[in-house]
Structure 1
Amino acid sequence: MQLKFLNYLPLVALAAPAHAQSDAAKAFGSRPVIDVSISPDGRSLALVEPLAGRGSVVSVVRADGSAEPKPVLVSDGKEDRLFGCAWSNNSRIVCNAYMISSIYGEKRGWTRMLAVDADGGELKIVSARGRSDQLGFVLAGGDIIDWGKDGEDTVLMDRYYLPETTTGKLNADQRKGLGVERVNTHSLARTAVEPPRGNAVNYITDGHGNVRIMVTRPTTNMGYGGHRYDYFYRKKDSREWLPLSTQSVSGIVASGFQAASVDPALDVVYGSEAVNGREGIYRISLDGSMKKELVFEQPGVDVDDLIRIGRHRRVVGVSWVTDRRHSVMFDPELKKFAAALAKALPDAPLVTFVDSSEDESKLVLLATSDVDPGKYYLFDKQTRQLAEIAPMQAALGSYKLSPVRSISFPASDGTAIPAYLTLPPGSDGKGLPAIVMPHGGPWARDEWGFDWLAQFFAHQGYAVLQPNFRGSTGFGTEWLGGSGFKSWQQSIGDINDAGKWLIGQGIAAPSRLAIVGWSYGGYAALQSAVVDPQLFKAIVAIAPVTDLGDLQAEWKSDLSPGTLEAMFGDLSVAQAGSPARHADVFAAPVLLFHGDLDQNVSVSESRLMASRLRGKGKSVELVEYKGLDHQLVDGQVRSQMLDRADRFLRDALHLPPANP
């Protein structure tokens, strides 16, 4: 591992890109601040900020601004990546590190939890160390599921156990499965709290050190994960597990109560459940009565999130998305505060509670909008002062960003498809070069807010339309349908109809329409050309799926054949729905980007697509990024990608060069 103490930030020589990047590409490709957390006493902040390229640094800042930031931990991002930190007590910070290494001859992603003192000392690995005689390698280093009490050095962590070989041993540990330990982040002393259970997949605490919910997933006769999750609960001061609920899973659709968070004061568990095709928030009493209450539902959409605050993850409200994200606060004080905050930050209406001190007297907030990547703030309830901590993406401070408008357009069958339209600054919205940008997932959705890809292309003069095609989440079970893979005809049809709408409205010139997508969006960009080869004049696909059969083969060790077919369909779907199998019909040039260590979608998918297109004499370019995975977490690489994509689109759409 490359993580180390920091007395200085090393200067690293980086190879210059083959083509000088534009200032806009550098600014929009810059990585945002990764994380901000506050100590239990509210006196110190820990900021995880990006360094040049793919590195990151953890710095400690006094909340009153009385001292310069002190760097305490750094990662160069080449062998490991920091992606979140929090305070275990007033002097100790715990961070999660992600690595990709060769494990049993295969590149695999794995995580470990680290702890470091607020002055940079005592760096230790908090995750349980593996043993050479274990029958396998544990990829997940464990999650902290409870931060304990103020001033204590211990946290609750889940841990996956593997049995040891019995050869030549009489006392080999044969435990297997997920358990919970109480871990001292200084001494690394570990005490078992929950024994490992082979089919356990999650534990939920009350935020005060007590495990109250256990989730299990029974396996099938073939050893695959089963098609249900069983939830169990404990009464206060009891060790007995009692049945709470069962969540059945059919393909990508789940039914039944899914527990999420325990409120010890009310002695209830909050969770979600789909009723009449829409998810709502419910709570169930944990006193043995099993009383179930509807907390909140919103007609027409899924209520998809609990708002939680502080170290104990206290539930204070719910949120959901229509054209924009909305929220309702249960806590009277926070309800008043949210109203006051809306007046104080009228240009940044999307506010997230990031963290709080132990007594919740100091809150860390993130406020964003469609034209603001966001700023972190510290609010002091006693002084009523709101102070800025750091901008999310400081490099964009001098750029005029484009408002995002919620619209809908008709699909070919008349269904209204919700979408977001972003026009270039100052544009009249007519006769523009335009991009349809389908989201990834496909089990996801776009929301109103800041999007660095859409904003970059809008800044470069393109209209950008982001459709929430059928197969997107948040609109209920019927809209989700059979998934964007198995039911690709409907999803791709909606995406192509988005392009036709841009032309029909006069927003896009027919000869200047392109499609850009990442992950599933990259698949959609390619498959759109199979359905209608003449519609889009240029295709950019980042980390795309290109063959559904190959993707199923990659996942077959984790999912049962029935689950795979429910998600991806049968052989006929793979044949018709795989763009790599239809390279002969492509008319538009294709540009592919892919990290060669992608853990979500193998780089072989893009290599296959490029090979098939070249074999048919089609125009294609594949740009591979060494040592990077699906998210391409490298500011220089992202800037290079934006610049190369813009030049490719300008060449294909016959546009003049961008302003420097």
Structure 2
Amino acid sequence: MKQLLIFIYFTLFSTFSYANAQINDAKSCFRGAAESHEKWASFLYAKNKKFNKAGSITHFPASKFNQRKDTLDCIDFTYHVDGFTVEGYYLKPKQHINEKLPLVIFNRGGNAEYGYVGFEKKMDFIADIASGGYAVIGSQYRGSSSGFIANNGKDEFGGSDVNDVTALVDLAATMPDVDTSNIALVGWSRGVMESYLAATKLKNIKAIVSIAGNADAAKALELRPEMEKVYHARIPNFAANRANELNKRSVIKWLDKLPANSPILLIHGSDDQKVSVEQSKLLATALSEQAYPHKLIIYAGDDHGLRKNRADLIQQTLDWLDNYLKPSIQ
């Protein structure tokens, strides 16, 4: 009897099922060191004695922490893709007016464990989108959690890891308050590439937001040749198929494969040293030539993190999402 009750508990509270998709090991992001603002600040200080406690409190005060915790569900989970166990997360309002929430798939930057979306990242830009009335779901990508998850796979930087992104739609469909017929893709840096690749495979993509991303991988390498090491380490058989693999990861080479009615918002900082602003300019020109709906925003003097214009970045993103995913309330 006890085993049956345990089984029912985990079925109800740890796993959502839809077709072959499952959200497993669901846990609140507000746990452990992130259970309270005090614990979080103490954890960061213990981790790094040079931690700027005063600055952190200004950026993320207890009032903001508590507001996030009181108004948002933030869940970490695992799921299975191509036989691998991958980490994911989602955030959504605890209470909302609409019958169902539009779905935003957030695609992170980095590669493997670099760029991992920790608690502080979830509470920043991602939480801002969720607070705007959206269910936001994201993948850590295969290979990012191999240090503590067995059979986590290997990041291919735009290869089979794109399946980790597309699988999120089936996972979101297990949540009764999420509308998977109304989807946007929001990517940052490497996540922009993931968004474009996923857009060629998914249905119901109503809008795309591309922040500080590449459009032409070969041209990007000319300005940042150190990324060649990442490609060799991540992309299978890269040395033997260099040109082909770069083209696969360059949206400008296959614009015709993007969904016809998914307007793109391009956002970039003029002083971005990781991904040149010329990449967004290049894509905007190509989109104009194809009469593809888009908008280009360049923040003068800002870098890859866009901290100088964060408030406007959030507003521009929400306005774009609202316009195409919530047209009835505009």
TM class, shorter-length: 0.7 to 0.9
How far is the alpha carbon of 1:431 from its aligned partner? 2.3
Cα deviation, residue 555, structure 1: 2.9
* SS in structure 1 of the partner of residue 304 of structure 2: coil
**Which amino acid letter does the alignment assign opposite residue 598 of structure 1?**
D
User: Which residues of 2 match residues 317-332 of structure 1 at below 5 A?
Assistant: none
- 2:210 paired residue number: 541
Shift of 1:441: 0.3
1:640 pairs with 2:312: yes
The superposition leaves residues 129-160 of structure 1 with CA deviations (integer Å, 9 ceiling, x where unpaired) of xxxxxxxxxxxxxxxxxxxxxxxxxxxxxxxx
Structure-2 residue corresponding to 1:489? 159
Change (3 A) 1:599 1:435: same
Question: Which residue pairs with 1:425 in the alignment?
Answer: 94
Amino acid at match of 2:273: Q
Q: Does the 8 Å CA contact 1:429/1:463 hold for their aligned counterparts?
A: no
Aligned-pair Cα RMSD in Å: 3.6
Equivalent residue number for residue 446 of structure 1: 117
Deviations 1:541-587 (CA, angstroms, capped at 9, x unpaired)? 1101222222222233x47x777534453111112222121111222
Shift of 1:514: 1.1
Query: How far is the alpha carbon of 1:655 from its aligned partner?
Result: 4.0
Match in the other structure for 1:627: 301
- For the pair 1:467 / 2:133, whether they are aligned, the reply is no
Structure holding more helix per residue: 2
In the TM superposition, what is the alpha-carbon distance from 1:495 to its structure 2 partner?
0.7
The 1-side partners of 2:156 and 2:302 are apart by 26
Deviation for aligned residue 1:601? 0.5
Give the Å deviation of 1:494.
0.7
- Report how far residue 437 of structure 1 moved: 0.9
> Cα 1:654–1:471, aligned 2, differ >3 Å: closer, same or farther?
same
Q: 3-state SS of the aligned residue for 2:173?
A: helix
Please say if residues 594 and 603 of structure 1, whose CA atoms lie closer than 8 Å, have aligned partners that are also in contact. yes
2:148 matched to 1:479? no
1:352 maps to a residue whose letter is: L
- Residues 472 and 397 of structure 1: CA distance in aligned 2, closer, same or farther (over 3 Å): closer
Deviations 1:460-505 (A, max 9, x none): 1111112111142554696362x442xx232111111112321344
Deviation at 1:517, TM superposition (A): 1.7
- 2:224 maps to 1:551: no
Q: Using the alignment, how far apart are the partners of 1:396 and 1:645 within structure 2? A: 24
Deviation at 1:347, TM superposition (A): 5.3
Report matched runs for 1:88-99 at 5 Å: none
**8 Å Cα contact 2:207/2:325 also seen in 1:** yes
Q: How does 1:108-147 map to 2 (within 5 A)?
A: none
Matched, 1:599 2:270: no
TM superposition shift of 1:451: 2.2
Which of 499, 521, 526 is matched with 2:191 structurally?
521
Q: CA deviation at 1:620?
A: 1.2
Structure index of larger Rg: 1
CA contact (8 A) 1:544 1:601 kept: yes
> Is residue 2:77 matched to residue 1:392?
no
* In 1, Cα distance between equivalents of 2:264 and 2:189: 15
Percent identity over the alignment is 21
Find the aligned partners of 1:563 and 1:420 in 2 and give their Cα distance. 25
Other structure's SS at 2:274 match: coil
Partner in structure 2 of residue 216 of structure 1: none
1:347 & 1:640 partners in 2: Cα distance? Answer: 26
* Structure 2 unmatched runs, 5+: 1-26
Asked whether the equivalents of residues 30 and 36 of structure 2 are also in contact (C-alpha less than 8 Å), the reply is: no
Change (3 A) 1:346 1:394: closer
Secondary structure of 1:591's counterpart equals strand
Distance 1:346 1:648 in 2: 33
Q: Following the alignment from structure 2 to structure 1, what is the Cα–Cα distance between the partners of residues 253 and 28? A: 37
Q: How does 1:249-648 map to 2 (within 5 A)?
A: 346=36, 348-350=38-40, 351-353=43-45, 376=53, 390-394=57-61, 397=64, 400-401=67-68, 402-411=72-81, 413-427=82-96, 431-442=100-111, 443-449=114-120, 450-473=122-145, 475=147, 479=152, 481=154, 483-485=155-157, 488-532=158-202, 534-556=203-225, 558=226, 564-567=231-234, 569=238, 570-587=242-259, 588-634=262-308, 637-648=309-320
Q: 1:653 aligns with which of 289, 300, 325?
A: 325
Kindly provide the CA deviation profile for residues 305-357 of structure 1, in whole angstroms up to 9, marking residues without a partner as x: xxxxxxxxxxxxxxxxx987999xxxxxxxxxxxxxx8xx855443122699x
Residues 576 and 406 of structure 1: CA distance in aligned 2, closer, same or farther (over 3 Å): same
CA contact (8 A) 1:469 1:491 kept: yes
Aligned-partner Cα distance in 1 for 2:30–2:133: 27
The one-letter code matched in structure 1 to 2:176 is: G
What residue identity is the alignment partner of 1:469?
Y
Contact kept? 1:595, 1:625, Cα under 8 Å: yes
Q: Per the alignment, in what secondary structure is the counterpart of residue 110 of structure 2?
A: coil
Greater share of strand:
1
Aligned-partner SS, 1:599: coil
**TM superposition shift of 1:645:** 1.1
Instruction: Mark the CA change 1:463 to 1:563 in structure 2 (over 3 Å): closer, same or farther.
Output: closer
Deviation at 1:396, TM superposition (A): 6.0
Q: How many equivalent residue pairs?
A: 287
Structure 1 counterpart SS, 2:78: strand
Structure 1 position 510, deviation (Å): 2.9
Residue type of the alignment partner of 1:448 = F
Q: Distance in 2 between matches of 1:389 and 1:408?
A: 29
| Residues 552 and 564 in structure 1, CA contact (< 8 A), matched pair in contact too | no
Alpha-carbon spacing, 1:651–1:444, altered in 2? closer, same or farther (3 Å): same
Question: Where do residues 112-261 of structure 1 align in structure 2 (5 Å cutoff)?
Answer: none
Report SS of the residue matched to 1:352: helix
TM-score, normalization: structure 2?
0.74
Mark the CA change 1:537 to 1:471 in structure 2 (over 3 Å): closer, same or farther. Answer: farther
Q: Distance between the aligned counterparts of 2:101 and 2:118, measured in 1?
A: 23
What corresponds to 2:3 in structure 1?
A: none
- The separation in 1 between residues aligned to 2:91 and 2:98, in whole angstroms, is 9
User: In the TM superposition, what whole-angstrom CA distance separates every residue of 1:265-305 from its partner, at most 9, and x where no partner exists?
Assistant: xxxxxxxxxxxxxxxxxxxxxxxxxxxxxxxxxxxxxxxxx
Query: Residue type of the partner of 1:445?
Result: Y
Using the alignment, how far apart are the partners of 1:564 and 1:447 within structure 2?
A: 24
Q: Does the 8 Å contact 2:86/2:145 carry over to 1?
A: no
Cα distance between partner residues in 2 of 1:417 and 1:355: 26
